[in-house]
């Protein structure tokens, strides 16, 4: 039971990480199309 629970936790963490990675990648690709928005985003991240 404990082993299966641990496996489930690992899978959940991996899935969340993968989902976050895909979403961030899509966001970067979307922002790279419009340079002005990308620059504003960079400035916002710095501040």
Q: Which pLDDT tens digit goes with each residue over 8-45?
A: 999 999 999 999 999 988 888 877 777 777 788 788 88
Question: How much is the pLDDT for 1?
Answer: 61
Question: How much is the pLDDT for 43?
Answer: 86
Question: How much is the pLDDT for 41?
Answer: 78
**Alpha helices (runs of H) in 2-47, residue ranges in sequence order:** 2-33, 35-46
Band of pLDDT at residue 2, cut at 50, 70 and 90: low
Q: How far apart are CA 35 and CA 41, in angstroms?
A: 10
């Amino acid at each position: 039971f404990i082993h299966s629970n641990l496996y489930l936790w690992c899978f959940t963490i991996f899935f969340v990480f993968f989902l976050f990675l895909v979403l961030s990648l899509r966001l970067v690709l979307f922002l790279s199309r419009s340079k002005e928005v990308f620059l504003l985003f960079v400035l916002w991240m710095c501040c």
